[in-house]
Structures are given as structure tokens and as C-alpha cells.
Amino acid sequence: MPYLRLRQICLVAADLAREAARIGQGLGLAECYRDANVARYGLENVLFPVGSSFIEIVSPTRPGTTAGRFLERHGGRHGYMVILDCDDPEARQRHAESLGIRVANVIRHDTYLGVQLHPKDTGAAMIEFNHTTGGEDPMGPYAPAGPDWQRAVRTNVARRLVAVEIECPEPDRLSARWAELFEKPQTKQNRIQFDAGEIRFLSGRGPQPVFSGVELEAAASTTLELCGVRFRLIA
């Protein structure tokens, strides 16, 4: 059965250990995986499960990486990637290309396919569509998070990824563009809803659209700033 879920966000930090500790403490999360394969891109990373969704932090380990240039350009602020899992990333890729959106990278191995779109064409953030064999069940396999990510799930503080927030000078226009990309309706409130999670487009003062915020379902309500992104925890 076709599905499209907001599954993961990716943030960039200059100091991985420091920001991982802040996220673990502030959101009550436990680390589930570090992927040695990202070293080929000049990165190190860490993932935390939030229910059946994930927060990833990447950090450059050498000059000249895409993530490093993002960090320099934004001064350590704003989110880097919005990641959705689906039943057919190749169909999503073909549709994106039909809209003139370029593919920046394809990651493929035995059980996994990830298609990353060029952020200059999407605006605000890099978008990825991915699929893991057997991943139809949200609590089943999810290759980016390692073989036993379920053991790291903690729900004492943060419990579920609810929404990503994009601030932009023209929210109507960008939400319409992304709705066309995702083949989902655009609501009057400039929201795009998925089978799990949603993306919200808000008016922003800056000249360019940015991935500025995250909403999480949580045990108690508060607001934190982590990795240059506003996290709103809502009870």
C-alpha cells in the first residue's frame, strides 16, 4: 500500500559530541546508531529515535563538505534535511525530475534506497525520499538508524515527531511547490499532511526560506533551541 511519512530530520553541528549531549539531555532521548558509511562524505553522525521517527546530527570531519558549507552559510542555525520514507523512492524521483528538481545524491545498498533532492531546487532544506525493505511497519527495519534502533526508544520526555516548520518570505508559494512535489493537498493554513507528521510553512522575515523549527509531542510543554533549531515540545 502506498505511504509517505515524515520520518527523520537532519541537523548540522560543528561539535557533534556537545550537540548530541544537549539533545539527549533536553529531549530525554538515547542514541541508537552512528553510521560509519557517512565518512565517505567527510561526516560523522548520530541518530536518536523519537517514537518511530528520528533526529540525526551530522558534523563535518574535513573541509569542503556540503554540510560544512551549510554550517558556514547559516552560522550554525537552521535545519539541514527533511527526510520522508515511502513505498517507492524511484517513482518520487521521477516525479521530482518532471518538475525540474535535480537529484543531488542516490544512496543504494541491499535493503535500502535513498534519493536526495538538490536544495537549490527545493528551497529551505534538502529533501530525501527513502525506503527500507520491510519498513512498511513504522516500528520495523529502518536502515539509517541501525539494526536494533527500537531498543533505544525513550518516551519520558519527547514522544513523537509531529511537524517540521519552514519560515519563508512567501509561504503560499513554497507550500504550493512542495505540495506538488509530494503530490499532497495544500491546506489553507499552508500545511502539508502525510501519513505520519506534517510540514508547516510560516511567514518569515529573512530573504530565503529556512527550516527553522520542529514540533514534538512530549510529556510536558516547553521550548528549546538545539542545533540552531527551535524545538517546541507540546503535551
Residue 204 burial (CB count, 10 A): 18
The predicted pLDDT at position 207 comes to: 87
Average pLDDT over residues 116-126: 95
The per-residue pLDDT for 20 is 97
Per residue in 174-222, pLDDT tens? 999 999 999 999 888 999 999 999 999 999 888 899 999 999 999 999 9
pLDDT above 90 for 131: yes
> What is the pLDDT averaged over residues 118-142?
96
Q: Is residue 169 predicted with pLDDT exceeding 90?
A: yes
Average pLDDT, the chain: 95
Share of the chain above pLDDT 90, in %: 88
DSSP assigned state of 196:
B
Q: Which helix (H) or strand (E) holds 129?
A: strand 126-132
| pLDDT, tens digit (0-9, with 9 covering 90-100), for 180-192 | 999 999 888 999 9
Task: Determine contact, residues 85/132, Cβ cutoff 8 Å.
Answer: yes
- Provide the number of structural domains found in the chain: 1
Range of the domain at 171: 4-234
Strands 229-234 vs 210-218: parallel, antiparallel or unpaired: parallel
The arithmetic mean of pLDDT across residues 8-29, rounded, is 96
Average pLDDT over residues 157-166: 98
What integer is the mean pLDDT of 89-101? 98
Domain CATH number, residue 87: 3.10.180.10
Q: What is the 3-state secondary structure (H, E, C) of 4-17?
A: EEEEEEEEECCCHH
Distance CA 20, CA 12 (A): 11
Does residue 165 contact residue 178 with C-beta atoms inside 8 Å? Answer: no
| Confidence band of 51 (pLDDT split at 50, 70, 90) | very high
| Mean pLDDT of the 89-106 span | 97
Which pTM does this prediction carry? 0.95
